[in-house]
Structure 1
């Protein structure tokens, strides 16, 4: 059995055009807190869940990641270990309307929106685990 995969969720929700229409800035990688002008982070639990194709992973075997819930236009998706927001692994070809975001010096360390087009349950992300880690969290 491989290391464990866990999920948490933070979603960037643009409001009245104050969001980042072409993706989150790299400065959000460290704490993943949305910084849209005039918008406060949502204090209540997100109406979304992150689902993975498996609860465990093996190095160099891709993991499918899906965000379920209502449709969304903004996203910042990253894998990390423990309380550190250092991006681990690498995201594979980003789905339509998304792109890579360099986090922790990792060119494919995160995925963010590339435009404001709606994304939903049919938007599937593929993540390649690093060689050695223990529990991984998707945020």
Structure 2
């Protein structure tokens, strides 16, 4: 019986981990928390998120780069208040767009679960002006992840 319960647990964890190997679903748009069977880490966020241009005009693009220790997954949004704004460029081999808050590609997530040392995302500013906040969720693996970290600001002028 113990073996059966252990096997069921391993299979359920493996299924959950594989379910998001191609990126986060739209259901995470608001809280940016993966639906893994584990809680987000509360310790220090071990990744660096660099924004190439933090001040730009509507329609201009900037690069957002996540780097640090190896990771398998990510979910990034640029927000005005609680709404994802702007659009990310997608690349089927590495980056998949997610439609959040009614805007296609307003969030970016991984499109595979390969180990990454860094990833650079291209984000295009929306028409609306103002100060925006950049948030990132990064998953080292299915069990270890940090959710909805405020990692920078962008001003659209």
TM-score, length-scaled by structure 2: 0.70
The structure-2 alpha-carbon separation of the partners of 1:108 and 1:130, relative to structure 1 and needing over 3 Å to count, comes to same
Match of residue 43 from structure 1: 42
Greater helix share, 1 or 2?
A: 2
Counterpart pick for 2:132 among 128, 133, 136: 136
Deviation at 1:56, TM superposition (A): 1.2
Helix, strand or coil for the counterpart of 2:27? helix
Matched, 1:100 2:97: yes
RMSD: 1.6
SS of 1:120's partner is strand
Aligned length: 120
Q: For residue 57 of structure 2, give the secondary structure of its aligned residue in structure 1.
A: coil
Which blocks of at least 5 consecutive residues in structure 2 are unaligned?
1-12, 136-157
Q: How does 1:45-84 map to 2 (within 5 A)?
A: 45-82=44-81, 84=82
Distance, in Å, in 2 between the alignment partners of 1:137 and 1:24 is: 20
- Which one has a larger percent strand, Structure 1 or Structure 2? 2
Structure exhibiting the larger radius of gyration computed from Cα positions: 2
8 Å CA contact 2:92, 2:111 repeated in 1: no
Task: Output the TM-score relative to the length of structure 1.
Answer: 0.78
Q: Determine the structure 2 residue equivalent to 1:109.
A: 106
Point out which structure has higher relative CO (alpha carbons under 8 A, 6+ apart): 1
Structure 1 residue runs of 4 or more that deviate by more than 4 Å after TM superposition: none
Match of residue 11 from structure 1: none
105-114 or 16-25, which moves further after superposition? 16-25
Q: 1:131 to 1:99 in 2, by over 3 A?
A: same
